[in-house]
Copies of this chain bind each other. A is one copy, B any other.
C-alpha cells in the first residue's frame, strides 16, 4: 500500500476545504506519476482512519475526483485511478517554426480613429478630490453583497441563470414601476419599463432605434458630454439652445421649430447637466405643448431626481405627458454604486419592443441576479432607507462645502447653491484658467475636473462641476484648503 499519510497533505488552518485538499493532493500525485493509472484506492473508511478525518470528508473527496474524471468507481470492486489521465493536449495546426513569439503589436488592417470621442481617462477614486459622484463609503454594498449571494443560493432562482427577458426581469420592473409611480407621479406598469446598463445604455439604444443621419436634435448650451457624443455618433446635427436660470430657453426652441424639422429635444429637467438649474413649471408646460404641435420627441434624462435637498422635487415632464411624446431615462447607479450599472427607460411598449429587439444584438440581456437582488432591496425598504440616509448626509456636505467656498473663495469663483445633485457648477475667474489650475492640484493629490468637456464651441466657459458628495467634512476642509492656497500662491 502507498504511504497515503505522507502523500496527502492536509492543513487544517487553510481556507481550502479539507476534502478539496485531499482531492488536489491525489491529482498532483497522479500527474507526477507517483500514483499510477488503474491503482485501487483504499476504501473511504480505511482512508479516513489513516488520514484522521471524518469519513464523510473522504466520500466528498472521492466524489470530487470522480466528477473531475480522475477515478472510476466500480460497483462492488472498489475505486480505481483511471487508466488515461484526463489531461488536455491541444493540437497545433501550424509548424512550430512559424510560431511567433509575441502578440502582434498592431492590427494588419487599418482602424479608423474616432477623434469625436475622447480616450477613456480613468482615475481610481481613492484620492481626495471634487469628484462628481456619490461617496462609495456610503453605499449599501454589504446589503447588496448579502442580497446577491442570497438570490444565487436559492434553487428557485436557478431558472434566472439562463436566458431571461431582454427588457429585464419582470419582478424588478414591477418594483421599479411602483417606485417611479410613487416618487414621480407616473402611472406606469412594468410593461413601460426597460432595465438598461445605466442611463447611457438607454440613450444609446434610443438613438440607434429612433434617430438617423442628418436629423436635428436640440440640446442645451452647455450639455452633457456623453449625450452629445451619442447623438453625433449617429450622425445627428446638434442645435444648441441657451440655458439660463430657469432652464433651457423654450421660446428659442419654438423659434427653431418654426424654421426647421426637429426630431428630438434632449433635456435634463430636474437639474440641468452641468449647470444644476431646474427647468421651471411654465417652460415645462410650453415644451410639452410644442412637442405635440411640432411632433418632436422629448428625451427627459432625469439622472439625479432622487437627490434633492428641498424635500419638494418637481415632478418630471413625463408625469403630464398624455400623448406619448416623452421618453424618460433614469438610473440607480448613483444610488447603489456607479459600477453597478443599472438604469431604466420609461416609454410606451411599442418603443420598448424595438429597443429590446436591438438589445439582443448588443448584450443579449441584463444581469437577472442583480435585478432580483435590487428588487428585494426595494421591497424590504433597504434602498429607500439607504437613500434617505445618503441624502441627509449629502445635504450636510453640500452646506458645508458651499459655506467654505463662499467664505473663502467668493472673490475667485461664482456659483449658486444647487437645490440638489452631487455637484456645484462653479465659474472661475478668467485669470485662473482651469486647465492650469488642475495641473497644479494634481501633484498635490487633489482632483478637480478642468471643465474642458463642458465647452461645446471655441469659447471657454472656464467652469467646472465640483463634486461635494465624495468627501466627508474633514476631507473637504483639506481639499478646499489646498485649492485656496494654490489659487492664492500661483495666480
Query: Which residues of A are interface residues toward B (Cβ below 8 A)?
Result: 16, 20, 24, 64, 67-69, 86-94, 98-109, 111-114, 117-120, 122-126, 131, 133, 136-137, 139, 141-142, 144-146, 148-153, 158-167, 183-189, 192, 197-198, 200-201, 204, 209-210, 226, 229-230, 233, 281, 284-285, 291-292, 295-297, 308, 311-315, 319-325, 337-341, 347-351, 353-354, 356-358, 360-365, 367-370, 380-381, 385, 388-389, 391-393, 395
Contact, CB under 8 Å: B159 / A114: no
Contact, CB under 8 Å: A367 / B392: no
Complex CA–CA separation, A446 to B206 (angstroms): 37
Enumerate chain B residues within 8 angstroms of A161, measured Cβ to Cβ: 136, 139, 141, 337-340
Complex CA–CA separation, A183 to B118 (angstroms): 35
Enumerate chain B residues within 8 angstroms of A166, measured Cβ to Cβ: 120, 122
Q: A111-B350, A118-B357, A161-B339 are in contact. List 11 more A-B contacts (CB 8 A).
A: A88-B308, A93-B320, A100-B321, A104-B324, A111-B210, A120-B165, A141-B161, A148-B148, A160-B339, A226-B361, A339-B369
Complex CA–CA separation, A285 to B95 (angstroms): 10
Known contacts: A161-B338, A162-B337. The answer to whether A229 contacts B122 by CB under 8 A is no
Enumerate chain B residues within 8 angstroms of A151, measured Cβ to Cβ: 145
The 5 closest A-B pairs by CB, nearest first: A104-B324, A93-B281, A145-B152, A145-B149, A108-B323
A112 → chain B closest CB, angstroms: 7
Contact, CB under 8 Å: B107 / A136: no
Contact, CB under 8 Å: A361 / B117: yes
Contact, CB under 8 Å: A392 / B67: yes
Oligomeric state, in copies: 2
A384 → chain B closest CB, angstroms: 10
Contact, CB under 8 Å: A188 / B93: no
Residue ID in chain B nearest A203 by CB atoms: B361
Complex CA–CA separation, A388 to B148 (angstroms): 26
| Pairs A–B under 8 Å by Cβ, sample size 11 | A67-B388, A68-B389, A69-B391, A88-B311, A90-B183, A94-B285, A100-B187, A106-B324, A119-B357, A200-B363, A339-B369
Which one of B24, B111, B348 lies within 8 Å of A106 (CB-CB)? B348
Complex CA–CA separation, A20 to B388 (angstroms): 14
Contact, CB under 8 Å: B209 / A354: no
